[in-house]
Structure 1
Amino acid sequence: MNILVTGASGFVGKNLCSQLHNLGYEVFKYDKSDTLETLSAYTKSCDFVVHLAGVNRPTNPEDFFSGNRGFTETLCDLLHQHNNKAPIAISSSIQAELDNDYGVSKREGESILLDHSRKNNSEVYIYRFSNLFGKWCKPFYNSVVATWCHSIARGEDIQINNENAELTLEYIDDVVNELVRCINGKPNFKNVEERLCSVPINEKVTLGELAKLIQSFKASRTSLLIPNMGDEFTKKLYSTYLSYLPTDEFSYNLNSHVDNRGSFTEILKTIDRGQVSLNISKPGITKGQHWHHTKNEKFLVVSGQGKIQFRDIFSQEIIEYEVTGDILQVVDIPVGYTHNIINTGENDLITIMWVNEIFDQDNPDTYYLEV
């Protein structure tokens, strides 16, 4: 299929076009820098139109109507001239229900499209998107998420006029997935008679909650606490936040505990899935020599040569596992067994360690006992 996308260089356009390419569609990208002749050529041979072009923050209110109503009229006229009955999905706005200039111009654009549907016998799908967020959205424009992610990532202050004000947010990948379903004839209709469609996934959040969550993302580099990826909204918002990091701040340092035995460095922590650390032992060094009631661990040696010893605290029998970075093998550390890890090689023994809970200094559940 040949998909014509108007407003292709905008936020939604860039995300949609990149995914359509991934899926193997031929994409005709049209933007305000292109000519009317180009649009005419595209409307002659396209199989589907995703109409994203529009005006939402002009200096002159009249531009609302020329950009939203006028361009939609031009698009429909060209399709009609070429006798092209390609379906059209239009990006409208929830403000189409309001009486401001922007809302009226969007509503008039919808009306032109519905009229074109009747005259041209073409399928029409109207999406009144709410507050969209995701990668490639311009900060300080019309998205509070983009603005706050940009500012918080740079340690800048943000302004909150009403912490209790509620937003309905739609994530760009969910928007793109819905538009792809629409292209394939499976739109999510909200009102079939009015041809209104919607993105089936959205999230309601207050401004205060939104700010707190984004600020926690920045703090996670210090606390090492990974956000709750089991919550879909948090996962999507965190991905969005990372896309606004300054390009010279993709990396961050960790705090290593170093002594003559080697080092121990915490990498990341989670509230419900424990934490991951990196342990380095010098040649001949033994670490551990302790046991736990409930705390359990997994060791993965990624470099060096060593052995892990276990002993049931009520037994004298020692169990040994040889470990090497040449064979990636996870070793479980059961509760009730005192254990250690010994570097038996000539180079550093490097081990990734996972433990099922974050270290609690007041309740470490760690008891010294030599194997």
Structure 2
Amino acid sequence: MTVLGKMKTTKRFLHMNKLASMNILVTGSKGFIGTEIMKCLQENGYSPDGVDIGDSVDEKKKYDIILHFGARTLIRNSFSKPYEYFEDGLGLTMKYLELARKHDSLFLFPSSGSTAEPSNPYSLTKKQAVEWINLYRKLYSTRVIIFRLFNIYGTTARKGAVYLFTNAALKEQTATIYGDGSHVRDYVNVLDLAKTVLEVVNGNINPGDYEIGSGVGTSVNEVISMVEKVTGKKLKTEKKPFIVDEADELIAHNTIVKNPMKLIDGIKLIRDSLVTENK
């Protein structure tokens, strides 16, 4: 081996050793988003610790980064389980935020893309969590990154309009539309979110508040048209009134996601995954 070759090998070894030595904690590691983050980090040389429901965390271990994705996410369920949402949404956040303060860890928190006044337990816990985080920033100079997530979807979501509509079309089932389908949302693939989290771990994103979206607004009716085009099937639908007040439009205007996946390409991934799954 040449001297140059030995130098490259040594640099690569030192780089991999640095990645392996970084202590990263991912909460909600078995959930839809957490699973993709764990996978992305592992594929890029990191060895994150994951905790989920029923798991315990070594609070004496000093983590360089805490990625807090452990929480309930269905707004509709929060009406019947307000206390559970309080415990998960605020209680767990405080637990890991305090751990970050004690060990001077970088803390990443996913908030909602909406800035409207809370009209449900889920949104209230998110708002209160952000208020606590901002207090920790002010009082203790805790290093925090807040991701304002818009509509995250993916092949393993098992919820959300994009996944549910695609699944219903393939199985010739009826999909439920809340409202008239004209409300516009920003749909961003979970793979894009995972890649952006990787940028945080790589040290390329500084503490602050950021939008995680595609920057493109798509109405529910347009999502249905895309699903029908991709699956080649007419989607049967039923309309119901909104359970909670919904904004007419929610779009990320300053997203930090690089080259976000087009929604129709994401729908194709879901279609292919479901077809393979149901063989």
Verify same fold: TM over 0.5.
Answer: yes
Residue type at the aligned position of 1:245: V
> What is the identity, as a one-letter code, of the residue corresponding to 2:123?
G
Mapping of residues 229-248 of structure 1, within 5 Å: 232-245=262-275, 247-248=277-278
1:206 corresponds to 2:227: no
Distance 1:107 1:233 in 2: 28
- Give the counterpart of 1:165 among 183, 207, 221: 183
1:158 Cα deviation after fit: 1.9
Task: From the superposition, tell whether residues 200 and 63 of structure 1 become closer, same or farther in structure 2 (CA, over 3 Å).
Answer: closer
CA distance, structure 2, for counterparts of residue 203 and residue 134 of structure 1: 17
For 2:72 and 2:83, how far apart are their aligned partners in 1?
A: 10
Secondary structure of the 1:24 match is coil
| Higher relative strand content | 1
Letter in 2 for 1:174: D
Match of 1:87 in 2: 106
Q: What residue identity is the alignment partner of 2:37?
A: L
Q: 1: CA distance between counterparts of 2:46 and 2:166? A: 32
TM-score normalised by structure 2 residue count: 0.73
Pick the aligned partner of 1:53 from 64, 70, 79. Answer: 70
Structure with greater helix share of residues? 2
Higher RCO structure, 1 or 2 (CA under 8 Å, sep 6+): 2
1:110 corresponds to 2:125: no
- The aligned runs of 1:275-286 (5 Å cut-off) are none
SS class of match (1:159):
strand
What fraction of aligned residue pairs are identical, expressed as a percent? 17
Which TM-score applies when normalising by structure 1? 0.56
> What's the CA shift string for 1:211-266, capped at 9, x where partnerless?
1111222218xxxxxxxxxx8332222112222236343xxxxxxxxxxxxxxxxx
> Paired residue for 2:147, among 102, 105, 127?
127
String of CA shifts for 1:121-180, please: whole Å, max 9, x gaps.
3310111211111121123xxx11121122112121223341322111111111111111
Contact 1:133 1:240 in 2 (8 A): no
- Closer, same or farther: CA 40–20 of 1 in aligned 2, 3 Å: same
What is the distance in 1 between the residues matched to 2:149 and 2:212?
8
Alignment check: 8 A CA contact 1:171 1:202 kept: no
Q: Is the 8 A contact 2:188 2:263 kept in 1?
A: no
- Could you tell me whether the CA contact under 8 Å between 1:132 and 1:170 is conserved in 2? yes
Query: What is the distance in 1 between the residues matched to 2:216 and 2:154?
Result: 13
The structure 1 residue matched to 2:167, chosen from 129, 146, 150, is: 150
What is the CA-CA distance between 1:197 and the residue it aligns to? 0.9
Q: For 1:211 and 1:62, how far apart are their aligned partners in 2?
A: 35
Aligned to 1:337: none
Instruction: Indicate the RMSD between aligned Cα atoms, in angstroms.
Output: 2.2
Label 1:87 to 1:79 Cα distance change in 2 as closer, same or farther (>3 A). closer
Q: For residues 15 and 85 of structure 1, do their structure 2 counterparts lie closer, same or farther at Cα, with a shift above 3 Å needed?
A: same
Q: Determine which of 193, 199, 210 is the counterpart of 1:197.
A: 210
Per the alignment, residue 329 of structure 1 pairs with none
Q: For the Cα contact (< 8 Å) 2:166–2:267, is it kept in 1?
A: no
- d(CA) in 2 for partners of 1:66, 1:96: 22
* Other structure's SS at 2:174 match: coil
Work out whether 1:74 is the aligned partner of 2:95: yes
- What count of residue pairs does the alignment treat as equivalent? 225
Distance 2:35 2:215 in 1: 21
Highest Rg: 1 or 2? 1
The offset of 1:74, in angstroms, is: 1.4
Secondary structure of 1:162 counterpart: coil
1:97 aligned residue? 116
Aligned position for 1:33? 54
Residue 95 of structure 1: how far off its partner (Å): 3.9
Q: CA deviation at 1:200?
A: 5.7
Runs of 4+ in 1 over 6 A off after TM superposition: none
Alignment of 1:206-355 (within 5 A): 206-219=219-232, 232-245=262-275, 247-249=277-279
> Partner of 1:290 in structure 2?
none
Deviation at 1:39? Answer: 4.6
Partners of 2:186 and 2:213 within 8 A in 1: no
- What's the counterpart of residue 256 of structure 1? none
Query: What displacement does 1:96 show?
Result: 5.2
Identify if the C-alpha distance between structure 1 residues 77 and 248 changes in structure 2 by more than 3 Å, giving closer, same or farther.
closer
Amino acid of the structure 2 residue aligned with 1:208 = N
Structure 2 gaps, min length 5:
1-21, 234-260
1:96–1:103: 8 Å Cα contact kept in structure 2?
no
